[in-house]
Amino acid sequence: MGGTFDPIHIGHLACAEQVRDLFELDAVVFMPAGDPWMKRGRSITAAEDRFAMVKAAVQDNPFFDASRLEIDRAGETYTVDTLRALRAHYPDNVELYFISGADAMHRILEWRDATELARLARLVAVSRPGYEIDDARRRYMLTHAAIRHVSVIEATALAVSSTDLREKVRSGRSIRYLVPRVVSDYVENHGLYRGGA
C-alpha cells in the first residue's frame, strides 16, 4: 500500500486490514513515497518523519510492515518502479497486490506505465467517503484495455484524511483516535504540522 502518509491514520490502517482479510494476504507492506510527483505544490513532511510514523503505527500488527524502498530511492516516486523492484525481489510464486483508495485508483490511467502496473500486481481499489466509485467509473476502470485486474472493494469506510489531520493540528485541535496513539505522540513530540505557530 503506497501513500504519502503525512501522517498515516486509521483510514489507511483499517483499509489495509480489510483488504488483507478479504484477500487472505500474507502481509501488507506500507510504502511511504519519497517524492510524490502528484503532490507537487505543497510542502511534504520529511520522509524520515513520515516513515517513522508508519513504522510505529504498524508495529502491533504482525501482518503489517513498513518499507524504506521508495524513500531511499533517489528521484521521483513511480509506483511502477516500486512494483518492478518488488517483483525482482520476491520469488515468482509470490503474488503482488497494489492497494489504494478509490480516489487514487481513479487516477491510475494517468500513471506512467499503467499497463505494466496491472501486469505486475492485482490492483485493489477501496471505497473512501467523498470519493464514491460510481457505476460509470467502475465500468471505465473495469473495461479499460490497460487494466484487466482491478478489484473494487466496498470496505467499512472512515472519512479520515491526512489533509484534515494536518489542518486540525495547525489549528490546535485534537487528532486523538483518528491516528494511533504512537502517531499523535510523534506529531506532538516533533512539533509536526504546526505551520510555524
d(CA 8, CA 161): 9
| Minimal CB distance residue for ligand ATP | 101
* 132 is a site residue for ligand ATP (CB under 6 A): no
Is the CB of 15 or the CB of 147 nearer to ligand ATP? 15
Q: Which three cell numbers stand for residue 67?
A: 518499507
Which of 35, 65, 81, 103 touches ligand ATP (CB under 6 A)?
103
* 100 is a site residue for ligand ATP (CB under 6 A): yes
Min. distance of Cβ 77 from ligand ATP in angstroms?
A: 12
Min. distance of Cβ 11 from ligand ATP in angstroms?
A: 2
Which of 13, 53, 108, 160 touches ligand ATP (CB under 6 A)?
160
Q: Which residues would be at the binding site for ligand ATP (CB under 6 A)?
A: 3-6, 11-12, 15, 100-101, 103-104, 126, 128, 158, 160-163
